[in-house]
Structure 1
Amino acid sequence: MSSSRDIAKKSIMYHKRLKGTILLGQKSRRLSIKEIQMIYTPGVAAVSKEVFDHPEKKFVLTSKRNNVAIVTDGTRILGLGNIGPYAAMPVMEGKAMLYKQYARITAFPICLSTTDKKKIIETIIAIEPSFGAINLEDIESPKVLDISQELQKKIPVPVFHDDRHGTSVVALAALLNALKLVKKQLESVKIIVAGAGSAGVGITEILVFAGCKNVIVSDSTGAIYKGRRKNMNQYKNEIAAHTNPKREKGSLEDVIKNADVFIGVSGISNLITKDTVKKMKKDAIVFALTNPEPEIDPVIAKKAGARIVATGSYQFHNRVNNALVFPYIMRAILDHGISKIETEILYAVAVAISNTIPKKQLRYDNIISNVGDLRLQQNISRALKKFYKK
C-alpha cells in the first residue's frame, strides 16, 4: 500500500499533467448548420419564449435539472483548514469529476473570493437560475449552517450540505452494518462524536432520528451537555437538548470511558491514542473520519482492541467517505424533484446504502460498499421514490 507521501506526490503530478481535472463539453460533438439553427439563432428564440410562457419547462428545455453548483469559500478544506478559494479548487474539481463519473451530473466548482456570510448567500441566490441544486462544500462552521438554513428559505432548489448531510449518511450506513457484526443495538450503545462542526451536527441529528439514546458530542471545550455555557452556539445548544442524557462532563478522554462507538469528525489528526481506545467497551467501533489524516492510525486502533475501524480515506479498508453518498443522492433528488433535504430523506438513504452490501459479504474489514457499486444508485433512487414531487 502506498504511503501518504507517495500518494501526495503522485496527485500533484497528476493534476499538473492534466492542468486541472475537469472540462465542460457539449452533448453534440460536431454541429451541423441545421443543429446550429436549432441550438442558437434563429431557433433558440422559440425555446426561450416557451420557457418564459411556461416557467416549469426550464427543467426539460434546459440543463438546469442536471446542473449542480459546488460552492465554497475555502475556509475549511478537508483537514487543511482555511487555505482560500484557489487552493480549494482541486478539491471542488475532484468532486465535480465524481458527480459526472457516478451520476452523470454536470457540477461546477464555484470558489468564492469572499468569506462574508451575507455575500455568499446573495451570490448563491443570484446564480440559482442556472442550477438544479446547490452543494455547499468546505465552508467553516457554524457559518455554513446559517447559510444552508437561510438559502433553503429563499431559493426553490435543494441545498445539499455535504459536510453535514453526506458525512452523516455514510457514517450511519456504516455504523448500522458494524453494529450487526458485533451484535449490538443502536438504541443501547454509547456513542461519542468528536467534533461539533458541520459533520458533528449532522451525524448527531441522524443518530438521534435513528433511535440512538446515548450520544455524547465533544468539542475543543469538552463534552456538550444541557446547561453548558462556555463555547456554545445555536447548534451546540440544539445538540445539548437532545443528547448526553446523563449530562456527563469533562474531556473527550473522560466521556469515552465505556463507550461502544467513537466517531471522529474533529479535523484533528491523531486526536486519540491507543490508551483512549482501551477505555472503550469490548468490541469497540472506531470511525476516525478526518481527512487527509485520521484521528488515529487504524493499525494502532486495532492493536488497542477496537474490533472494527474505519476512516474517511481511500488509503485504508472500510472507507466511510461521503463520496458514497453525494453523487447518488443528488441524482435521486434531481430526478424526483425533491426541493428540500430533510432528516427523513437522509435516514432513508443511509439505510439503502447500508443494505446495498449483502450480509454474506459483511466482515470486520468490509462494512460498506465501494463507491463504484452500481447497486447504490438503484437502491437510493428506490428509497427516495416516496418523496417524489411532481
Structure 2
Amino acid sequence: MDNGQYALKAHKEWGGKIEVISRAKVASREDLAVAYTPGVAAPCLEIQKNESKAYDYTRKSNLVAVITNGTAVLGLGDIGPSAGMPVMEGKCVLFKEFAGVDAFPLCVDTKDVDELVQVIYKISKSFGGINLEDIGAPACFEVERRLKELCDIPVFHDDQHGTAIVVTAALINAVKLKGQEPRDLSIVMNGAGAAGISITKLLLDAGFRDIIVCDSKGILCQGITPEEGAKGEIARLTNREKKTGSLADAMKGADVFVGVSKGGLVSQEMVRSMKTKPIILAMANPTPEIMPEEALEAGAYIVGTGRSDFPNQINNVLVFPGVFKGALAVRATDITDSMKMAAAQAIAGVISTDELCPEYIIPDPFDDRVAQAVARAVEEEARRLGINRL
C-alpha cells in the first residue's frame, strides 16, 4: 500500500481528523444550570460590558481559525474549498499537537476578495487569531493586508510568512556554518508567488542584500518586470546589478539557491555553475527542484528540502504553532515583521554551535524545544512593541 492509499484508508477510518470535546462537565442539573441557562447569562453580560472579557470567559484566548478558499492547496492548485478541508483539518491537528493551541477549519466558497475579507472579518470575534491558508496569489496579499487593517487579532498567512520564517532560520544557520555574513552571500530565489516574495522580504530584513528573484519567465528586473503588483515591488528591491535571463543565468556564480517552484527545474550543471560549496534549499513538493543526492553529487555543501525523508526538512510546522502560541499568550493585536524575525532567530537558535553541521541546519519538526522557543521570542517582541494586551 503506497502513501496515498494508506492516507485514503486512514482518513476514511478517522472520518475527519478533529473533533469538538467539551471542557465543561455536564452530569447534573446543577452542571447544566452553570454551563447553560440560566448561569451562562452571567458571563454574557460581563462580555457585553467589556468585550475583552471574552478572552477570560470563552475559548477565544486559545482558538485560531484556519481559513482557506481552496485556490492554492498544497501543490494541487485550485481544487476548491471542500477539497481543501483535509489540509485545514490537518493544520488544526498540528496546532494542537505541537503547541496545545485549539484550531478550527473553515473553508469559504468564494474567489471574490471583497466577499472573502468580509466573511472572515464578520466571524473574527469568535477567535484569538486568524491563520490564512492556501489562498492563491495575488489575492492572498490583498486579503491579508485588508484583514490586518480590519481585525484587532493577529492575521497570518502561513504560506507566505511561515515559509519565510523557516527559510530564514535555515539560512541563518547555514551562513554561520560557512563562517560568512548574510551580506556576503548571493541568493537566487526561484518562485515569485506568495512564498517566494515573502521569503525575499524577510531575507532582506535579515541582512541578505544580494538577491535575484526568478519566476517562470526568468529573472525579475526593474525596468523590465511590470511595475504594478507584488512582482514589480520585489523587482525594485532586488537584482541590484540588473541582470536578465533565465534561472540558469541567475544561478551562475551564486552562493544560495532557494526554490519554492516546481520539481526538476534545477540540473546538476546549474549547481556546478554556482560558487564553491553552494547551499541548495529545494522545497518544491513532492518533487524538489533537484533531488538531494543529485545536488550533493554536483558539489552542494548544504541541501534542504520540504520532505521528511531527507535531512534538513524546511517545514512550516516549525513556525506557526509557536508563533500563534506566543501571540495568543499575550493577546497580541498583530504579528509584525520583527516578530517574524524573532521567530526565525529562535528556530535557528535551538541548534547549538556544537550540533550544527551540513545535515542539521534546522531543527526536527518533532523537537519539542521549537514551539516553546518560538512562543517565547514572539511574546517578548510583542511586549517590546507594546502590541500586547496581557
Same fold (TM over 0.5): yes
Structure 1 position 168 matched with structure 2 position 164: yes
Structure 1 outlier segments of 4+, above 3 Å: 28-32
Which aligned pairs between 1:244-259 and structure 2 lie closer than 5 A? 244-259=239-254
Which aligned pairs between 1:129-168 and structure 2 lie closer than 5 A? 129-168=125-164
Contact 1:284 1:306 in 2 (8 A): yes
Q: 2:265 aligns with which of 271, 275, 285?
A: 271
Q: 1:202 aligns with which of 192, 198, 203?
A: 198
Q: 3-state DSSP class of the match of 1:94?
A: helix
Q: CA deviation at 1:30?
A: 5.3
Q: 3-state DSSP class of the match of 2:182?
A: coil
Structure 1 position 221 matched with structure 2 position 205: no
Residues 52-73 of structure 1: CA deviation (Å, up to 9, x unaligned): 0111111111111211111111
Which aligned pairs between 1:177-196 and structure 2 lie closer than 5 A? 177-196=173-192
Contact 2:26 2:35 in 1 (8 A): no
2:347 matched to which residue of 1?
353
2:85 matched to which residue of 1?
89
Q: How many residues align?
A: 384
- CA change 1:314–1:31 in 2 (3 A) is farther
1:164 maps to a residue whose letter is Q
Residues 314-353 of structure 1: CA deviation (Å, up to 9, x unaligned): 1221111101000111100111222122211111110010
Q: CA deviation at 1:29?
A: 5.2
1:334 matched to which residue of 2?
328
Which aligned pairs between 1:48-59 and structure 2 lie closer than 5 A? 48-59=44-55
Q: 1:311 aligns with which of 270, 282, 305?
A: 305
1:125 matched to which residue of 2?
121
Q: 3-state DSSP class of the match of 1:275?
A: helix
Structure 2 residues without counterparts, runs of 5 or longer: none
Distance 2:296 2:211 in 1: 23
Contact 1:226 1:241 in 2 (8 A): yes
Residues 235-258 of structure 1: CA deviation (Å, up to 9, x unaligned): 112212211111111111111101
TM-score by length of 1: 0.95
Distance 2:111 2:25 in 1: 38
Q: CA deviation at 1:164?
A: 0.8
RMSD of aligned residue pairs (Cα, Å): 1.4
Structure 1 position 238 matched with structure 2 position 233: yes
Distance 2:333 2:271 in 1: 42
Higher deviation after alignment, 174-183 or 373-382: 373-382
Give aligned-pair identity as a percent: 40
Distance 2:179 2:12 in 1: 48
Q: CA deviation at 1:262?
A: 0.6
Residues 266-313 of structure 1: CA deviation (Å, up to 9, x unaligned): 1x1112121221111111111011222221211111111111111112
1:172 maps to a residue whose letter is T
Residues 80-117 of structure 1: CA deviation (Å, up to 9, x unaligned): 11111122111111110000111111111111221111
1:325 matched to which residue of 2?
319
1:293 matched to which residue of 2?
287
Q: 3-state DSSP class of the match of 1:369?
A: coil
Q: 1:69 aligns with which of 55, 62, 65?
A: 65
Structure 1 residues without counterparts, runs of 5 or longer: none
Q: CA deviation at 1:155?
A: 1.2
Distance 1:74 1:292 in 2: 19
Structure 1 position 367 matched with structure 2 position 348: no
Distance 1:302 1:310 in 2: 11
Structure 1 position 377 matched with structure 2 position 371: yes
1:387 matched to which residue of 2?
382
1:24 matched to which residue of 2?
20
Higher deviation after alignment, 294-303 or 20-29: 20-29
Residues 195-224 of structure 1: CA deviation (Å, up to 9, x unaligned): 111111110111111111101110112111
Distance 1:158 1:33 in 2: 39
Contact 1:78 1:290 in 2 (8 A): no
1:204 maps to a residue whose letter is T
TM-score by length of 2: 0.95
Q: 2:104 aligns with which of 105, 108, 111?
A: 108
Distance 2:225 2:258 in 1: 24
